[in-house]
Structure 1
């Protein structure tokens, strides 16, 4: 089938970030072990390639484990211990030791100084070559059979065997089915990190407008988020929405992505907003409301909200009655929008779901059900908000797997 060795010490299923990170760390510590990465595609590391718009959002500048875990809707409790073993500072050091410097951007995201994901890809490929890790592309795994102390991995190009297996396939339904057949519980996957589709005159024709600091609530739920909001051609996006979609992934799926949200564009309560507008009425009495932007809102958004408050284009502040002031205050602090669907965030697809966390030993990331079977990355029911956190889970889990395997050899 190939010129490669078919009886291996370790097979890593999945040629993504977690798979390469695990392979390199194991091989570096155990140069005599035979290790192969199986990748179903022609090349690996495709998610690394597109991450961060092609720049690769390697991690996030959060250096306290208890704060870092707050970015994980699923896996928060389980990752606290692992992050004490390997987290952001260790990731930075790992790449720096291999000649790759990372930089911190204003929002805390960290990228290679080169601003190119190819830098990270080249690093992994070079390290894999350096430590003789076999890269078996176009190897689609059909099934895994446990034969005494060996794993038999059946692929479209023949069979391989190994003493240990690391599952690092990310969100892969076929692998989840395979793991289910082996006796693992799979939490049904649903999309996470998505934008909201909305058709509403208040945001029509103003794509690209950003409200810098909003509060968003999903009506009739406890879901709430804060941060920037971006108006798009199909609805709304940006960190406030992506965070809401991540933490509400399961609940919003049950609603079939049809629900109402309330947006507070200015982070005032309605009473304080009414008082502010009354003062504005006095101060700007002769000016038109439409052209007197308040609260540092984007001009185009302000105009949309004013018109939605039954205020005419030529009306001056002095002309506003009590009802108009209250209606405008409501649009500013409690604008309700109907969400009619979702869209994937750029090209980065993340899911909530995967191997049930109760069936994993988080000191080693080994299966509690099947000895010598390990997990790394999003194949587990762990996911995070956008900003480099999903990659940090990949690095941490892969490193701890490599440490556990090295101890056992």
Structure 2
């Protein structure tokens, strides 16, 4: 049986971040990372389209927590200890240059996730952190205040165990045997599958700002929208999917989506503006005069959906068709039938019940010397670097708490 001072289960972002931060404070400790796959840091590699969206440039803790549908309350204290600026400084201290893009997302200047991976691997090598791949944890037991981990290859023991496996159903099942409560995981951050003649041939069309609402629900979101070959995506959809993860799961991802292409204009305002436009530009062809910043292709599909043909001028549009066009602009109704994963990234809502974790140390309230970091917890965020920020912060707290025990 192999003995280590600290064993970290999970070779992802929070696992490496925990190990490195412990080792920097206590360089003589024997630390091991157990990774089930052939490669470590796989999620880091694909994040941000292969560029690694390290974090988001929101530097105020109480504002930052607002991006977390689950974990908002619990992360306030942790973010006041280790926040976005601390993460950026951490990488800067290791000669990893980061940049803030216009939308607030933070990436390495290299635009390559390998830069982040190399940083972690170099640090792990510097501190002799043992990385053991293709090791599947099969059983976890505690005997005489020691943790024993049985894997597909070897057995390990340690007094200090960190669970950093992300959304791993098998690990959650093992933790259930230790009487930890698992909030049933459901997908978060997904796109909407829609087949509708109004958008079927508009792949790649984007809008700057729309308002979305789930019909017969309180779920709503605003933001840019992207039309894809399978339906709708973009920040507004991803935000709505994150906040509505459980409710949409309960609906089996079948629901009516209302889209206001004008964002914050209400029905009466739009109808009044269209009526004025009819008075001011009576000879113009409706089909060719895109309004509200919409692309010509999108505008034309909405015009046709309202029953206005390609040659009709504003002067000839009757009141009932103006009403129909207003409806298309402010409350287009789409039937959503299923979801698709956002790029290659898979985030879940669910995990360790947050009431069973001490958020000053990330230690289990049920067991001494058992720690949780990252997405294994019932914490998730909208897209934009926020899920990684949770990983860095919780890993940092766990590492500091562990270092004080030696």
Q: Would you call these one fold, judging by a TM-score over 0.5?
A: yes
C-alpha offsets along residues 339-363 of structure 1, whole Å, 9 cap, x if unaligned?
0010000000000000000100001
Query: Where does 1:192-271 land on structure 2 (aligned, <5 Å)?
Result: 192-267=188-263, 268-271=265-268
**Deviation of residue 44 (structure 1)?**
0.4
Q: Aligned match of 1:78 in 71, 74, 80?
A: 74
Structure-1 residue corresponding to 2:20: 24
The CA RMSD measured in Å over matched residues stands at: 0.7
SS in structure 1 of the partner of residue 351 of structure 2: strand
Q: 2:180 matched to 1:191? A: no
Equivalent in the alignment of 2:38: 42
Q: Deviations over 1:68-115 (max 9, x none)?
A: 001000000000000000010000000000000110111100000000
Alignment partners' CA distance in 2, 1:204 and 1:41: 39
Aligned residue number for residue 289 of structure 2: 292
The residue aligned with 2:384 is 387
TM-aligned CA deviation for residue 222 of structure 1:
0.7
Partner residue, 1:374: 371
User: What are the residue-to-residue correspondences of 1:1-400 with 2, within 5 Å?
Assistant: 6-267=2-263, 268-400=265-397
1:314-336 superposed Cα distances (whole Å, 9 cap, x missing partner): 11100001001011011101111
- Paired residues in the alignment total 405
More deviation, 290-299/113-122: 290-299
Q: Distance in 2 between the 1:160 and 1:294 partners?
A: 65
Displacement of 1:296: 1.2
State the alpha-carbon separation in 2 of the partners of residues 107 and 289 from structure 1.
34
SS of 2:286 mapped into structure 1: coil
SS at match of 1:77: coil
Other-structure match for 1:403: 400
Q: Aligned-pair distance for 1:407? A: 1.4
The structural deviation recorded for 1:33 is: 1.1
Return the TM-score normalized by structure 1: 0.98
CA distance in 1, matches of 2:287, 2:149: 67
Q: Spell out, residue by residue over 1:162-198, the C-alpha distance to the aligned partner (whole angstroms, 9 max, x if none).
A: 0110000000000000000111000000000000001
Structure 1 residue 283 displacement after superposition: 2.1
Q: Secondary structure at the match of 2:75?
A: helix
In 2, Cα distance between the equivalents of 1:77 and 1:260?
31
> Post-superposition, which runs of at least 4 consecutive aligned residues in structure 1 deviate over 2 A?
none
Deviation at 1:390, TM superposition (A): 0.2
Distance in 2 (CA, whole Å) between partners of 1:40 and 1:334 is 47
Q: Which sections of structure 2, spanning at least 5 residues, go unmatched?
A: none
* CA deviation map 1:27-50 (0-9, x unaligned): 010012110000011110000000
